[in-house]
């Protein structure tokens, strides 16, 4: 904590500058997600365990924050004991309808120097803003931010700054163009609402 | 996962050929039984014979298989049409390469078998390289057909399998290993590392099991993974890339500890934040041209050959701007504050080895020019001019550049301070239990 104020001021100032152009909501949410300190990847043994603890803490805080702000929009949990693969769900509400997608990603060997590549496999091939296998495109809006803030950003930050804006930009287009249908649309004829 | 493809796999075209042959055989035997019958009308015999000869002709045409050459034991310099290596061995006669046949001892790993990697693999195969290790997890698509190498009939095959199919036909002397995996995942990286370390091809080789790694990938994550592996193994590698707008490219030589590693200098997008569209990769509508990719592959393999066979100079960095036909070159020293731990270790080793390197260089220079006079070039040195080594790291300049003019301060702490701040903070979190945290998240998730 001793060196925190000096470091913090410098960093917050530089972060504010690069966050220009983001909406105030995202900005204020971001400042409340706990930052990480350990720079370690899945091959770093005990240091990775430490990093994993920090990841959990920041994910817990972020999920709690979303719930209390009535902005719950994802579920994510480790799919293996090493914490190198994560699976879950994310959803987006558009025109009062909720669109839900499977969410999955691997922690790359070079993590946290490189960000996780978030995948929405159900949308593979449905939008241009996506790489093969359903990896969403993070290149322009997120990767530079991640690289500048390594190792302070973790999974929670990737979801907040990478996935959330992607869903906000892409889901309306996918729905309006008819590429995706709400899950009730197919069954409305048989179900009574 | 690692498939050592030495056996013959049949593709759809080969199956179709076999089926056609069978049908022709059946047609012939049907005709035979027809002519064996004593036909009531003898005028039918002539047209039947004509049909028979036509079918025979078609069967012969179908049987003529494409010529597949057999393996060659030694590379010969003999100038005959049937020698696949005569033009390459002529490099010796021309005084370019001292011993071309050494190429059969070398192993090259190519990561990414796309527009650049596949062409580089074909070039090395035609040059008679000893062994190629191919890594990719993608499949061949029709959208790849604007580039060289892959054919439409290979659509749907993994790029590694399709490459092995073509390359083994072109030159059966090359040992091909194909790895269908993603090197950025933990498992893929493990297999990748152990394949590079495997020395069974050339057991008494120094260092790792390969002589050079060529990075022909199309994204930052994969480059960082190649960089990580090569830094850890102290493995020299060549990086290559083509810009998203398809009109420029580059190659770069990376010798761990000696030249900048890929993490030493962050890419432009991260450093400047200005042009963030330069490192995008294939899929999100990147443009590509067979020409630019062919040029970059050519530059890459040319430098590979120079590096392996020891002729000419290997460019530390060579850019290619196709709009102006401009080829910039430059050199990048490693970053002493590089974020990659393995890179820092290699840098330390390189600095520690400096005296030995200097001695070797001096010895070589003396051996090369024993007759040159040792005395001073000019007897009178009126201005006291002396030659100093400008490679010296600890000159006074490096310190003075840190000092800022009056009134200016550094906003961000230096890297060393930053590291200290991190380590002093870390232990405070240690008493938490991972399992406990996992359960906490699950509880919130299900709430």
pLDDT computed for residue B400 by the predictor: 47
Share of chain B above pLDDT 90, in %: 55
What does the pLDDT read at residue B96?
A: 94
Going from the C-alpha of B391 to that of each of A56, B125, B333, B352, B394, the distances in angstroms are 48, 39, 11, 14, 9
Sheet holding B248-254, edge to edge: B2-3, B175-180, B131-136, B107-111, B212-215, B237-242, B248-254, B317-321
Task: Name the pLDDT band for A20 (thresholds 50, 70, 90).
Answer: low
3-state secondary structure of B186: helix
What positions of B carry a catalytic annotation?
285
Structure tokens belonging to residue B266 = 């962050």
Beta carbons of A50 and B430 less than 8 Å apart: yes
- Binned at pLDDT 50, 70 and 90, residue B12 comes out as low
Best mutation site among B141, B182, B264, B283 for testing chain A: the one with the most A CBs within 10 Å?
B283
Return the exposure string of A54-83: e unless at least 16 CB atoms fall within 10 Å of the residue's CB, then b: bbbbbbbebbebbeeeeeebbbbebeeeeb
Specify the length of chain B in residues. Answer: 447
Chain B residues within an 8 Å CB radius of A57: 429, 432, 437
Where b means 16+ CB within 10 Å and e means fewer, B275-310 reads ebebbbbbbbeeebbbebbbbbbbbbbbbbbbbbbe
Dist. CA A153–CA A164, nearest whole Å: 15
Q: CB–CB of B318/B251 below 8 Å?
A: yes
CA atoms within a 13 Å half-sphere pointing along the CA-CB vector of A91 = 14
**Residues of chain B positioned with their CB less than 8 A from the CB of A65:** none
Alpha helices in A69-120 (DSSP H): none
Q: Which residues of B touch A108 (CB under 8 A)?
A: 184-185, 221, 224-225
Q: Check CB contact of B270 with chain A, cutoff 8 Å.
A: yes
Residues 6+ apart with CB under 8 A from A36: A51, A54, A55, A58, A112, A151, A152, A153, A154
Point out the residue among B266, B283, B418 whose CB comes nearest to the CB of A132: B283
Query: Which pLDDT belongs to residue B57?
Result: 83
Other CB atoms within 10 A of residue B247 CB: 16
Q: How far apart are CA B2 and CA B25, in angstroms?
A: 40
Sheet with A74-78: list strands edge to edge.
Answer: A74-78, A85-94, A97-106
User: Which chain B residues in 173-192 lie under 8 Å from chain A, judged by CB atoms?
Assistant: 183-186, 189
* A56/B437 Cβ within 8 A: yes
Q: What is the DSSP string of B285-317?
A: S----HHHHHHHHHHHHHHHHHHHHT-S---SE
Find chain B residues with C-beta within 8 A of A149's C-beta.
none
Question: What's the rounded Cα separation, in Å, for the pair B156 and B162?
Answer: 9
Are A92 and A70 spatial neighbours (Cβ–Cβ below 8 Å)? no
What's phi and psi for A61, nearest 5 deg? -60, -45
| Residue A153: predicted pLDDT | 95
B282-305 average pLDDT score: 88
Q: What confidence tens digit (pLDDT) does each residue in B214-242 have?
A: 999 998 899 999 999 999 999 999 999 99
What lies within 8 Å, CB to CB, of B419 at 6+ separation is none
B398 close contact with A: CB closer than 8 A: no
Q: Is A160 a catalytic residue?
A: no
| Sign, Cα dihedral of B260, B263, B267, B270 | negative
Contacts of A84 in chain B (CB under 8 A): 185-186
Which residues of chain A lie closer than 8 angstroms to B424, CB-CB? 2-3
Minimal CA separation from B203 to chain A, in Å: 28
Interchain CB distance below 8 Å, B441 and A77: yes
d(CA A159, CA B109): 35
- Of the partner residues A64, A131, A148, the one whose CB lies closest to the CB of residue B283: A131
pLDDT tens per residue across span B109-153: 999 999 999 999 999 999 999 999 999 999 999 989 999 999 999
For residue B402, the model assigns a pLDDT of 60
Judged on CB neighbours under 10 Å (0-12, 13-18, 19+), A175 is middle
Of B181 and B387, the structure prediction assigns the larger pLDDT to B181
Evaluated on CA atoms B351, B352, B357, B358, the torsion sign reads: positive
What residue of A is the nearest CA neighbor of B446? A75
What span, in angstroms and rounded, lies between the C-alpha atoms of B334 and B336? 6
pLDDT at A140 over 50: yes
Most confident segment among A129-138, B44-53, B104-113: B104-113
Give the β-pairing of B175-180 and B212-215: unpaired
The structure tokens listed for B387 are: 């030659």
Residue B213's alpha-carbon distances to A131, A153, B217, B226, in angstroms, are 25, 31, 12, 9
Query: In whole angstroms, what separates CA B293 from the centre of its chain?
Result: 13
pLDDT tens per residue across span A50-94:
999 999 999 999 999 999 999 999 999 999 999 999 999 999 999
Distance CA A7, CA A3 (A): 6
What's the rounded mean pLDDT across residues B265-276?
Answer: 50
Residue A133 CA, chain-centre distance (Å), reads: 17
Q: How far is CA A163 from the centre of its chain?
A: 4
Beta-strand runs (E) in B348-403: none
Interchain pair A129, B277: CB under 8 A: no
Do the Cβ atoms of A7 and B421 come within 8 Å? yes
Measured between alpha carbons, how far apart are the two ends of chain A, in Å? 56
Residue B138: which of A37, A67, A132 has the nearest Cβ? A132
- The C-alpha torsion from B45 through B50 and B52 to B55, rounded to 10°, is -160
Answer yes or no: do A60 and B220 touch at CB < 8 A: no
The pLDDT > 90 percentage for chain A reads 65
The reported pLDDT for the residue numbered B353 is: 92
ipTM of model over 0.90: no
| Maximum mean pLDDT: which of B70-79, B296-305, B411-420 | B296-305
Sequence-distant (≥ 6) Cβ neighbours of residue B403 within 8 angstroms: none
Residue range B19-41: mean pLDDT, rounded: 80
pLDDT reading at B5 higher than 80? no
pLDDT digits (tens, 9 = 90+) for B76-97: 888 888 889 999 999 999 999 9
Sign for the CA dihedral angle at B443, B444, B446, B447 comes to positive
Under an 8 A CB cutoff, do B284 and A82 touch?
no
Q: 10 Å Cβ neighbour count for B383?
A: 6
Tell me the mean pLDDT in the region B415-431: 48
Does B435 reach chain A within 8 Å, measured CB to CB? no
**What does residue A145 show for φ and ψ, rounded to 5 degrees?**
-65, -45
Q: Where would I find the H helices in B186-324? A: 186-197, 220-233, 268-272, 290-309
Across the range B194-213, mean pLDDT stands at 92
Q: Give the percent of chain B with pLDDT over 70.
A: 81
């Amino acid at each position: 904590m001793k060196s925190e104020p000096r470091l913090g001021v410098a960093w917050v100032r530089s972060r504010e500058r690069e966050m220009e152009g983001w909406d105030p909501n995202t900005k204020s949410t971001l400042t409340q997600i706990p930052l990480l300190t350990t720079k370690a990847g899945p091959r770093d043994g005990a240091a990775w365990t430490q990093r994993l603890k920090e990841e959990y803490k920041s994910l817990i805080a972020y999920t709690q924050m979303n719930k209390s702000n009535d902005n719950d929009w994802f579920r994510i949990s480790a799919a293996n004991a090493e914490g190198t693969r994560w699976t879950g769900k994310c959803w987006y509400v558009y025109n009062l309808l909720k669109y839900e997608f499977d969410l999955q990603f691997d922690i790359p060997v070079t993590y946290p120097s490189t960000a996780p590549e978030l995948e929405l496999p159900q949308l593979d091939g449905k939008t241009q803003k996506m790489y093969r296998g359903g990896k969403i495109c993070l290149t322009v809006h997120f990767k530079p931010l991640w690289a500048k803030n390594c190792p302070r950003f973790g999974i929670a930050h990737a979801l907040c700054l990478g996935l959330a804006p992607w869903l906000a930009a892409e889901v309306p287009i996918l729905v309006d163009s008819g590429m995706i249908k709400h899950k009730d649309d197919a069954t409305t004829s048989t179900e009574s609402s | 996962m690692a498939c050592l493809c030495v056996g013959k796999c049949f593709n759809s075209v080969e199956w179709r050929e076999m089926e056609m042959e069978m049908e022709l055989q059946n047609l012939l035997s049907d005709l035979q039984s027809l002519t064996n019958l004593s036909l009531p009308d003898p005028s039918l015999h002539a047209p039947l014979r004509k049909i028979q000869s036509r079918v025979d002709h078609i069967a012969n045409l179908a049987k003529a298989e494409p010529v597949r050459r057999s393996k060659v034991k030694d590379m010969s310099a003999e100038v005959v049409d049937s020698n696949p290596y005569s033009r390459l061995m002529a490099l010796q006669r021309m005084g370019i390469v001292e011993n071309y046949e050494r190429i059969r001892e070398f192993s090259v790993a190519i990561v990414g078998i796309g527009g650049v990697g596949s062409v580089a693999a074909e070039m090395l195969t035609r040059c008679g390289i000893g062994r190629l290790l191919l890594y990719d997890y993608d499949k061949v698509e029709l959208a790849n057909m604007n580039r060289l190498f892959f054919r439409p009939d290979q659509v749907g095959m993994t790029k590694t399998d399709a490459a092995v199919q073509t390359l083994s036909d072109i030159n059966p002397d090359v040992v091909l290993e194909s790895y269908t995996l993603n090197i950025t995942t933990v498992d893929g990286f493990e297999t990748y590392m152990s394949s590079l370390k495997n020395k069974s091809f050339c057991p008494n080789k120094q260092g790792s099991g390969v002589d050079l790694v060529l990075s022909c990938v199309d994204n930052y994550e994969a480059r960082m993974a190649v960089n990580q592996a090569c830094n850890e193994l102290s493995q020299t590698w060549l990086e290559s890339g083509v810009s998203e707008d398809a009109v420029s490219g580059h190659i770069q030589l990376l010798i761990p500890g000696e030249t900048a590693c890929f993490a030493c200098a962050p890419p432009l997008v991260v450093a400047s934040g200005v042009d963030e569209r330069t490192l995008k990769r294939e899929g999100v509508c990147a443009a590509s041209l067979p020409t630019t990719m062919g040029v970059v592959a050519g530059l890459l393999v040319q430098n590979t050959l120079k590096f392996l066979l020891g002729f000419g100079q290997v460019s530390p960095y060579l850019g290619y701007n196709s709009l102006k036909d401009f080829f910039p070159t430059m050199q990048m020293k490693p970053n002493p504050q590089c974020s990659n731990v393995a890179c820092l270790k290699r840098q330390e080793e390189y600095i520690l080895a400096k005296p030995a390197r200097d001695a070797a260089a001096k010895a070589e220079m003396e051996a090369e020019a024993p007759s040159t006079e040792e005395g001073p070039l000019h007897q009178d040195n009126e201005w006291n001019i002396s030659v100093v080594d400008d490679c010296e790291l600890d000159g006074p300049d490096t310190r003075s550049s840190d000092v800022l003019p009056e009134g200016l301060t550094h906003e961000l702490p230096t890297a060393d301070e930053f590291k200290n701040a991190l380590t002093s903070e870390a232990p405070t979190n240690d008493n938490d239990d991972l399992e406990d945290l996992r359960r906490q998240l699950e509880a919130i998730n299900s709430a």
